[in-house]
Amino acid sequence: MIDHLLVPMDDSEPARTALEYALSVFPEAEITVLHAVDDLESTYGGRPPAVAGPDDEDEELAFFDDVRELADDDRPVETIVVEGTAADAILEYAEAEAVDGIVMGSEGRSGVSRVLLGSVAEAVTRRASVPVTIVP
């Protein structure tokens, strides 16, 4: 039984599709949407992370607005921002919080950063200790 799902999210369409899938296929599961901020990636041509500073915990990433739009008022979805490379952050959170599964988009990065850093979905699928569902 799937009680707690982790949905890694960036500002890509596949990530949004993965969240829609998780919300519709697992209507009873607790869902945590995780965004990993990698300072190294933003150094190599990515956008600087839009994360609140340590004194301003009330601010959230803009794409979490999409999360709130997709999940209705009866379906609370937890959002969390963690620091680290995407695959490592996803796997560490999944292990620490004992999630029952991970639902993620097939790709989120594009261009040079994808070639330079590799496929997050592939790395998570190979290393996860829980089932991973990849949504195209």
pLDDT at residue 131 in the model = 97
Q: Render pLDDT for 2-46 as a digit per residue (tens, 0 to 9).
A: 999 999 998 888 889 999 999 999 999 999 999 998 866 554 444
CATH topology of domain 4-135: Rossmann fold (3.40.50)
CA distance 67 to 84: 21
Q: Render pLDDT for 15-25 as a digit per residue (tens, 0 to 9).
A: 899 999 999 99
Which positions ≥6 away from 76 have C-beta within 8 Å? none
Q: Model-level pTM? A: 0.79
Average pLDDT (104-125) is 67
CA distance 75 to 127: 30
Contact call for residues 124 and 91 (beta carbons, < 8 A):
yes
- The residue extents of the domains of the chain are 4-135
pLDDT at residue 22 in the model = 96
Please check the confidence at residue 125 and state whether its pLDDT lies above 60: yes
**76 token code pair:** 């609370």
